[in-house]
Structure 1
Amino acid sequence: MIVAVGAYFGVDVIYARRVLPGVQFLEIDLGGRTRSQAVQLISKRVDGLPLGNIRLEFEGQSWEMDPNQFGFELDGSKLADEAILVGRRGQFAQRLSERSFALVGTHQPIVSETDLVHSFNRPKLNQYLSEIGSRIVKPQRDAKLTIKNNRATEFMADQAGQTLDMNKTVELIARNLLNPAPIVLPITTRPATVTLAETNTLGINTLIARGVSNFTGSPRNRRHNIATGAAKFDGIIIAPKSIFSFIRALGAVDGSTGYLPELVIKGDKTEPEFGGGLCQVSTTAFRAILNGGLPVVERRNHSYRVAYYEPPGTDATIYQPYPDLKFTNDTPGSILMDTYIVGNELHFDFYGTDTGRTIEMTGPYVSNITDYPEPIYIDTSTMPVGGIKQVEIAHRGADVVLYRKVYQNSQLLYNDTFKSHYIPWPAKYLRGVEEANKVEADLNNVLPTEAGQEQTNLPIE
């Protein structure tokens, strides 16, 4: 320590008003230079220096920004001042540490705490950041919950307002022009004035689970049935310790309840019926049940793999009066179902009491894969002669297993295994001929090929 302190004070004498040895800017050695000499060297180096892209990040989103498009110019005087300060700022320990690095020639100027920019196009940068801000902004929202006959007739979860802090963002960019590390965008938040917990005494206070599925490529009737079916569950409140039956809550499925005919899987056939597409709703609910760590009482997979429900093993089929989808609300509070559609995605959100559970799911694991059967052609006189129309897509058979462990307070609460068996399914085509038995099929309700494909990158068990 005596030697170090002696060296510490000796440096002050030898390098008074000069940059300490070992300090560099890019590849320029600034050690021993006066401020004016450092300014001259740095200014010459940064004049016209192309700056590398800066990566801006926020909650999974990212943007690559080219600072050269906004006229950023480094300030040689400020960089020289920064170099002079190395080993001369902060508390004794910081100064000693910086000087130790400088004396062995391994120190680069610390530039993260100062604005090194001489000039830039602020209006242009503001416009660019405003576009990013529009993808980050969230409006402040107070919670609303009105309950009639044990169902929410008005519901809105609280949400804190969120906006991009433009001034801090500009400051971070200016300070980090030479720093390759990504910049996490700063935001300004405004909490809601009314929280969900303040709207009720049922323990409905936070989001406890979410299930999502994608129905891209669905025909018009199927989309209609998905929206109609999902609305049946929107606002339902499930009491603690009760078993929820999907079929019971769904009620009658026919034209009188707003459904349209669409393809459904019945045994070894796929036929148009009222309510085809409702399994998209039950599958989405099943995923919320899984993610919430709730006990599954009853669930059955589809006969064959359906592209809308990939990955396999995470689907749940329903059909009046059986099979059903059932689960238990084993939380201390009630659970409120909130259903909605965003684009081609159906969402099931469960709101209730946070139990502190952690969910660990592994899989799905696929085994015993069997290939498609030979395609089947059905002759019909209801189509132009020679015409061919695919009415069912081929599917491989497989066995699938999904494991779920539910922990509460670090203790294993549930250890579940969900097994699914999918049979191989042939492609089926209608083929137009002059004379044949009439085939009952709505060609507008055929599953399109753009509905997606089976996932093939799943682990094999």
Structure 2
Amino acid sequence: MVKITEKENEKKTIKFKINKKKMIRSLCILILSIYVLHVFLVHFVVNRYNERIYPGVKVEGINLSGKTEKEAVDTLKHKYVNEALKKNILIKAGNKVYKINYSKLNMNYNIEDTVKDAFKYGKKGSIYDKYKIIRSAKEKQFSLKYSYNKSEAEEIISKIENDFDKKPIDAKITRDKNDKFQVTSEKQGQEIDKDKLIEDMEAEINSKDTKDVMVNVKMKEIQPVMKKSDLKKIDTKISSFTTDFSSSTDSRANNINVAAKSLDGITIMPNQIFSFNNIVGERTEKRGYQAAGVIVGDKLESGFGGGVCQVSSTLHNAVVRAGIVPIERDHHNLPVSYVELGMDATVDYGNIDYKFKNTLNYPIYIECLVEDGNLTFNIYSNSKLTEKTYNLVNSVKTTKEDNKTVLTVKAYKVTYKDGKQISKQEINTDKYRLPN
């Protein structure tokens, strides 16, 4: 056997220690080299995307990875916008189809702003945060916002309305020569559901599909206000009132006739509001009115429509005697000759109106007759309403103010049942200043 001497063992130990140090040094150099290479790679990759969009970034599904802002804008305009402008919105209504081309909508997409947002994605944080985002290439979607000129769409919608909207036709009630009521049937109307159509069009305009899209127009049924079944309930006269205008001038009598004609045959449904000015209209020469005496303040002056207040006052008295209290009514400053104090109703187109709401459970029909210098309003409704009758009465108090006689008048609606008074309701208080 060969014996290993202590000296040889010592040499081997020294050699091993030297080799170990070399290995450690080499490993450190390797690790440092790898680290330096990694740092270099990180910087290289991140710097490469300093002026480019990060991987995984898409706008409207179009991949913009690695593109500059300008390249991204050009890509979107070419691949999305230009294609989208070829698209048509087809609107189907009934058996008709209406077409709107995107180019006519003057579509304006916020491409530049969206690309800026896409470019900024991932660019905040440390260099290693940026590197992780780049390496992961996780998908990040951005959407374009748009605006467009709505005039083209509104024009098409208007055309569809003209083609398909039908106004309902109310049932109508008239009195024949034998004083019997004749009722014609109502007709249902229709109109396009404009709000739904605009909503559906907006959704399709914003659609990412570049192919033509179809929008179906929904129709809404429009019910008439007056139905035959309701008007047939009108079967009897429930009130009447007459005033005399036989002493009027020809022009004043003419004005009464013109206003009366516009009110004859008016039907008012339950809860419907009647407006004298809306129905009679403006009192002008073109509409047949003549100049006649009118009360202006506390003076009698000449003006178109003089005498019309007698029509509104006569109607007022008939309406209250039908059990209805007006919701808007004013009096003259001076007493009038055709009705008692507190029972007049002055009107002035654009300033003073006479209004009432039909508070009865049935529709009412207004008949207006002009005969032999008399003006009569008859109110018709259902015979069940005759269980009660009504009257309009007043009370007058005379005082002095500034050396002028002042009449303070209270008007009351009095209700009767079976010939007995059951209530008395004050409906207005008026003051009239008499001229000296």
For the superposition of Structure 1 and Structure 2, which TM-score range results when normalised by the shorter chain? Answer: 0.3 to 0.5
Bigger-Rg structure (1/2)? 2
TM-score (norm 1): 0.43
> Whose helix fraction is larger, Structure 1's or Structure 2's?
2
